[in-house]
Amino acid sequence: MTRSTERPTVTTPRATDLDEASALRHQLADQLAEAGHIRTPAVDEALRTVPRHAFAPDAPVQEAYANDIVAIRHSDDGRITSSISAPWLQADILEAARIRPGHRVLEIGSGGYNAALIAELVGPTRAQHPPVRAGPAT
Cα 48 off chain centre by: 11
Enumerate residues 6+ apart whose C-beta is below 8 A from 38: 29, 32, 44, 47, 91, 95
Query: Three-state SS string across 68-87, please?
Result: CCEEEEECCCCCEEEEECCH
Inter-residue contact 61 to 115 (CB < 8 Å): no
85 in catalytic set: yes
Residue from 22, 82, 85, 110 carrying the catalytic annotation? 85
Q: Give the residue numbers marked as catalytic.
A: 85
